[in-house]
Structure 1
Amino acid sequence: MALQLLVEIGTEEIPARFIPPVLEEMKTSFQKRLDQERIRVAELSTMGTPRRLALMGRDLAAQQDEITAEIIGPPQTVAFDAEGRPTQAAQGFARAQGVTVADLVMVSTERGPYLAIKKSTPGQPTRQRLPEILPEWILGLSFPKSMRWGSETITFARPIHWIVALLGDEVIRFSLGGVSSGAVTYGHRFMAPQAITLVAADSQAYLKALEQAYVLVDPVARQEKLVKELEQAAAQVNGQVVHNPELVQENTFLVEFPSTSCGKFEAKFLELPDEVLITAMREHQRYFSLREASGKLLPHFIAINNTLARDPQVVQQGHERVLRARLSDAMFFFQEDSKIPLDNWVEELKGVVFHSLLGTSYEKMERFRALGRYLAERLSPDKVEAVSRAATLCKADLVSGMVGEFPSLQGVMGREYARRAGEAIEVVEAIFDHYLPRHAGDRLPDNQVGALVGLADRLDTICGCFGVGLIPTGAADPYGLRRQALAIINILADKKFYLDLAAAIGFSLNLLQDKLTAASEQTGAEVLDFFRARLHHLLTGEGFSFEVVDAVLSTAFTDVVEALEKVRALQEVRRSPDFPALAVAFKRVINISRDTPPGPIDPKLFEYPAEHDLLAATEQMEATVSQALPARDYPAVCRALAALKEPVDRFFDDVLVMTEDLSRRHNRLALLVRISQTFLKMADFSRITI
């Protein structure tokens, strides 16, 4: 008989950001524990609010699955004599298992027939296992931060106040942190704090009972109500809510029963940049901003409340009073910042430590400004001076009052102050764009100046950290170097910047000479390998064949965009009928010439026509490749390489490479090495299986 399960952990208010990940963990970890316990369940679901985390199980098996074990005994030849009578070995095995020889069976194994016994152990009732499973599962849940309370030694996100544990209509009894499980939950802390006794583990009845007590346990239903009320409140002032899914989710997990309050602020604050107003409302108060249909910000906001207000006007005035203070602070900082030239702030960076091992933010700026000029000279020569100016100013706002109050506005305020100071538009936009992308899925820089400054800034950070031993490990990447390397790769690919990455790394490390604690050459190799690994991870994650990516990146990797194009071309060629010929030809060449150094080829030492034919085909192939590679026509490169299939096969059929005549042997190996070197300009085809 299948049973329904309901578990609710009632707590003090859990931070909103803790809840979504733990709800997912609750489901996966409980499913894993049920699998270990051999308890089947049709479906698990989780829901939660700041004050409760709930797990519901549909059609939970009433009993563990039975265990059937097969115990192998002696082989048939040992267990029975020539007349088929059980030997002492068979009788001893049966006695050890507590059965008679007649209960034993013969089973087939890889080593032949063996005597065995199959034992079945019945499962325990689920209700007997849950008192052990549930407390262990609850304490195993992880949070960014946990706490202890009172004299208890257990830890949880917040103190536990009650636990509901129902299997059907039966309470699963256990105690945790001084709290005994039961069938009693509680409604909204302020609007319906009374106890609610649940009759059974009926999820619909549970949700309905709490909804009547002003608790929407289901976050989907809670968010739908929140969004609907946002839209209604915005319509009252002819506005539209500024799109912010993260703020919607955060408010969803800040309340148990959302209601809205639409307030207003003084029009003078609209003189502040839009980003300042939106950030002040969002980060400090979790308020939603409103725009007109034209896109202009309105002097209104919407707050999300956790209660239905007795007097909405009083609540609205309270929100307005708090926001007025925040916006007044923002206005003060903005006005004071506007009095100071950006170049003055650049000087102040000399007093800001970037890292104790890598110097001040001013020193870092000087390094990546020089690196930015180096990149611009090679990738966009007409942008050198713009890159230099943008690099000089892009960190200046870090010492501004506004960024000190709202750190998330770094780049945004620098862009605004530069615009007001009359800087060139490409410099203005680059000050913000050089931070892009800020996180996974974020947009890439729109202009080349911002892209080049962003590349230089990130490459200086990566080279600096590697140069002083701050290298990411499998468990930690405190400086976000993997994310920064991925950003560099994506920017290079997006802008089609064909950059000699090894040379750029070398230039960056040269600027860091007085900071490095490791040899420059060794550090450069480690940084290049780091980029190779990130690109490998990115491409395989995008669905490219592991072998194709490995074949391209195992050669002389130094240009990200070229590597991307080679992988795309080789992936396409691998699907064509020509590819097996290409791979076979290379493998035959590389297998016999591996570890052989290059050498001169003397046609006078050729004995067979196949040698002359292969040299002629090689020269023709080299001519085609020498034109196709600079043009980055990688499909043409692959076709030229594949054309060697027949002359290579004929060469191996007619010619003994490892002849006793050493001069001819070295001559033939030199020819094969020459071919392999050309192949390796595209990829190491030996890494690809056919």
Structure 2
Amino acid sequence: MTSVQKNLLVELFVEELPPKALKKLGDAFAGVLRDQLVAQGLAEPASVLTAYASPRRLAAHLTHVAERAADKAVSQKLMPVAVGLDASGQPTPALLKRLAALGADASAVPGLKRAMDGKAEALFYESTAKGATLAEGLQKALAEAIAKLPIPKVMSYQLESGSELPGWSSVSFVRPAHGLVALHGDTVVPVEALGLHAGRETHGHRFEAAVDPVVLRDANSYALQMQDEGAVIASFEARRTEIARQLAAAAVQVGGATVPIQDDALLDEVTALVERPNVLVCSFEREFLEVPQECLILTMKANQKYFPLLDASNRLTNKFLVVSNISPEDASAVVGGNERVVRPRLADAKFFFDQDRKKSLASRVESLGKVVYHNKLGTQGERVERVMHIARGIAEKLGDATLAAHATQAAQLAKADLVTDMVGEFPELQGTMGRYYALHDGLSAEVADAIEDHYKPRFAGDDLPRHMAGIVVALADKLETLVGMFGIGNLPTGDRDPFALRRHALGVIRMLIEKDLPLGLDALLQDAAAQFKEIDGFDSGKATVELQDFILDRLAGSLREQGASAQEVDAVLAPRPQRLGEVPKLLAAVRAFAALPAAAALAAANKRIGNILKKAPEADAHVSELLLQEPAEKALHAAMAEVVPAANAQFDAGDYTASLQTLAALREPVDAFFDGVMVNAEQADLRLNRLGLLMSLHAAMNRVAQLERLAA
């Protein structure tokens, strides 16, 4: 008999959930419920799941859920035939005991199935397992969904006296739960959770619900009843879309081509704070616009969850948008209240900005000597000295005295804004405020931009510094951090990377590659490590060799993420290229070479040559034509004399693709050599000469990349 299928609705009604975790909680709750019901055969893999999450509820709607799962045929291995049946084929006591444990007796013996299990024949008991009822299955699924919620911090609370476990009984959950709904179609499913019994009643908006409680008719009416009777948009995505629509409409209402600031994280957080969004337009005094807009935007977003409005030139206006959770007929009180709240915040920002400008950045550098950077690496002041020296060295390699002067000055002032009032209040503005204060002090735009940009790239996809001075200081700052931390053994482990060394390494890689800087990686690390020679316990080996491995490993991962194969990446990075700006060209050359018909054979031959040379430490790259006896070795020598100089010239000119394609012409003479020449000849001079020929060939073929890494 086919079980009746209906749609299922489950809701947990709770106190206000943590906004930054709400979307993840909602998706996890619904997802685990669905997975558990599908696993028990109560829902279909194609059943449609809709997750709901608002500040006071987690809910899930699932289509095509059965009242009872289908029965399942179960085959259970009992024991080997030799153990279960005696010589006359009668059941042994061991078999009868096992059958009794399964609720069967000797009458089941004739029906036991025999089948091979490994090398021995075994007895199997076949039965039918009753499918779970929805009440049983949902109870298990609900318990699993609650247990697996990614709760940021668990609360323990005492159950209400009306629950089944009154008095001092307590449960643990993300927030106290006050209601449970479970509807299969229009029927309540009798399940329990967190001391609550399932029903069909829930609650809407605290202040604007049309009725309380909201009595749900059936599973399918949930979203509509919550909106019409409960004044709640239960769906996180629907609520987010509605807020975005209202924000855009309010900006149009303001006029002047204004747009609300784009911030997905802020939009998600506000969506998690309201159940019935109502966007209102507010304003503040224009005098506050004298403060850098980054300060005003940050305080409005971070502290008040407001959406600042920007004009057509992307400049901050004195208007902002508030997402209210109430919709009064006269919103003036709500608007006025939010304007009063934001004013002191903006006044604080203006005060900090005015006070900070009374002292120059240069006058603040000395104070960095009182700020501890790391207990083994000293103060921020000492760190600044190291960054200055590293930056000056890089600038001298890359440019003229002007670049060196700009980079050195920017490096000296780059951390000075850390001791300003504004950055003390808003650490996210470090660098940004340094730029504003540098311009106020009359410094050049290039130096001011370098102060702001030296933190870049801050994250994957972030812009690189605007000018070369910024590139130099950003490189120096990241190298100082990497070398210092590796030198004292403070390395990233697993998911732990408190000093963001992986991000710093990727920043160094991006600048060296995207700006194609003529700087050797080893030389950069050695120069940076020299600035730590006074640090007790500093390990220069870790700071150079191990750090170089770390950087190349990050580069390998980045190249693979961009679509390069592991073989191609290994081939290019195995020789440990020093100028990382060349790596994209090397990779393109290897990829073009790998597509040639001769590539596989040459890669295999290269691997064979490498293995031969590993066993011949006495070999050198000297070749005497007088000792070339076999036609194949003479032909290979002649081909190399023609091909290798051309390939080397192309390599030296930076045309790595052409260099490898030229070397591909050696395929036939190389194949003929291995077919017709005994490398390890008994005569020592012949053997060494042939090894020398192979060594010369190996060196020529591996200038661009280790081609043997391409061998299958």
Distance 2:582 2:703 in 1: 11
Task: Return closer, same or farther for 1:251/1:633 CA change in 2, 3 Å cut-off.
Answer: same
**C-alpha distance in structure 1 between counterparts of 2:69 and 2:679, whole Å:** 68
Quote the Cα distance in structure 1 between the aligned partners of 2:142 and 2:492: 37
Unaligned runs of 5+ in 2: 100-105, 159-167
* Matched AA of 2:63: R
Cα offset, 1:397, TM superposition: 0.9
Aligned to 1:53: 58
CA displacement at 1:255 relative to structure 2:
0.9
Work out the CA distance in 2 between the residues paired with 1:581 and 1:90.
67
1:684 aligns with 2:701: no
Residues 1:553 and 2:556 are matched in the alignment: no
What is aligned with 1:200? 218
Equivalent residues of 2:203, 2:213 under 8 A apart: yes
- C-alpha displacement at 1:89, in angstroms? 7.6
| TM-score normalised by structure 1 residue count | 0.90
- Residues 390-411 of structure 1 show CA distances to partners (whole Å, capped at 9, x for unaligned) of 1111111111111112222111
Q: Cα offset for 1:682?
A: 2.4
Q: Does 1:405 align with 2:425?
A: yes
Structure 1: state its 5+ residue gaps. Answer: 80-85
Once residues 175 and 615 of structure 2 are traced to their aligned partners in structure 1, the CA distance between those partners, rounded to angstroms, is 63
Query: Which has the higher mean CA deviation after the structures are superposed, 5-14 or 676-685?
Result: 676-685
Q: Deviations over 1:215-266 (max 9, x none)?
A: 1111222123222322333333324123323222222222111112222211
Mapped to 2, the partners of 1:689 and 1:446 lie a distance apart of 42
Match of 1:395 among 399, 407, 415: 415
1:420 to 2:440 alignment: yes
Q: Deviations over 1:386-445 (max 9, x none)?
A: 111111111111111111122221111111111122211111111112222222332232
Amino acid corresponding to residue 556 of structure 1 in structure 2: R
Q: Aligned runs of 1:226-241 on 2, under 5 Å?
A: 226-239=243-256, 240-241=258-259
Distance 1:26 1:493 in 2: 44
What is the CA distance between 1:88 and its match in structure 2?
A: 5.8
Name the structure 2 match of 1:104: 113
- TM-score w.r.t. length of structure 2: 0.88
Q: What is the RMSD computed on CA atoms of the aligned residues?
A: 3.0
Verify: 1:576 aligned to 2:596, yes or no.
yes
1:205-604 pair list within 5 angstroms: 205-239=222-256, 240-246=258-264, 247-381=266-400, 383-515=403-535, 517=537, 519-597=539-617, 598-603=619-624, 604=626
Change (3 A) 1:486 1:212: farther
Map of 2:163 onto structure 1: none
2:648 is matched by which residue type in structure 1? S
The Cα offsets for residues 271-315 of structure 1, whole Å up to 9 and x where unpaired, read as 112222222222221112223335443222211111113531121
Q: Which amino acid in the other structure matches residue 215 of structure 1?
A: V
CA contact (8 A) 1:207 1:217 kept: no
- Alpha-carbon offset, residue 112 of structure 1: 11
Q: Deviations over 1:168-216 (max 9, x none)?
A: 33434444443333322110122228222223322x4344334432111
Report deviation, 1:63.
4.1
Give the deviation of 1:635 after TM superposition: 0.8
Q: Offset of 1:341 from its aligned partner? A: 0.7
User: Kindly tell me: are residues 612 and 89 of structure 1, through their superposed partners in 2, closer, same or farther at Cα, counting changes over 3 Å?
Assistant: farther
Pick one of 621, 645, 648 that aligns with 2:670: 648
Count of aligned pairs:
681
- In structure 2, distance between residues paired with 1:67 and 1:494: 62
1:259–1:304 Cα contact (<8 Å) kept? yes
Matched letter for residue 330 of structure 2: D
1:149 aligned counterpart, secondary structure: strand
In structure 1, how many angstroms separate the alpha carbons of the residues matched to 2:384 and 2:694? 50
Q: Deviations over 1:556-603 (max 9, x none)?
A: 243322223222322233233342233233233223333533514342
The aligned residue for residue 102 of structure 2 is: none
SS of the aligned residue for 2:463 comes to: coil
Separation in structure 2 between the aligned mates of residue 170 and residue 495 of structure 1, nearest angstrom: 66
Residues 566 and 352 from structure 1, CA distance in 2 versus in 1: closer, same or farther, beyond 3 angstroms?
Answer: same
CA contact (8 A) 2:369 2:380 kept: yes
Task: Give the conservation status (yes or no) of the 8 Å contact 1:198–1:206.
Answer: no
**Which residue number corresponds to residue 145 of structure 2?**
137
Q: SS of the residue aligned with 2:219?
A: coil
Q: Which amino acid aligns with 1:185?
A: T
Is the CA contact (8 Å cut-off) linking 1:90 and 1:101 kept in structure 2? no
* d(CA) in 2 for partners of 1:289, 1:343: 33
1:152–1:526: structure 2 CA closer, same or farther, 3 Å change rule?
farther
**1:37 to 1:543, Cα distance in 2 relative to 1, 3 A:** farther
Report the alpha carbon displacement of residue 513 of structure 1 after superposing the two structures with TM.
2.5
Which secondary structure does the structure 1 equivalent of 2:157 belong to? coil
- Structure-2 change in CA distance of 1:469 and 1:296 (3 Å): closer
Given that 2:487 and 2:541 are in contact with CA atoms closer than 8 Å, whether structure 1 keeps it comes out as no
**Distance of 1:535 and 1:581 partners within structure 2:** 28
Once the two structures are overlaid, the 10-residue window that deviates more, 173-182 or 420-429, is 173-182
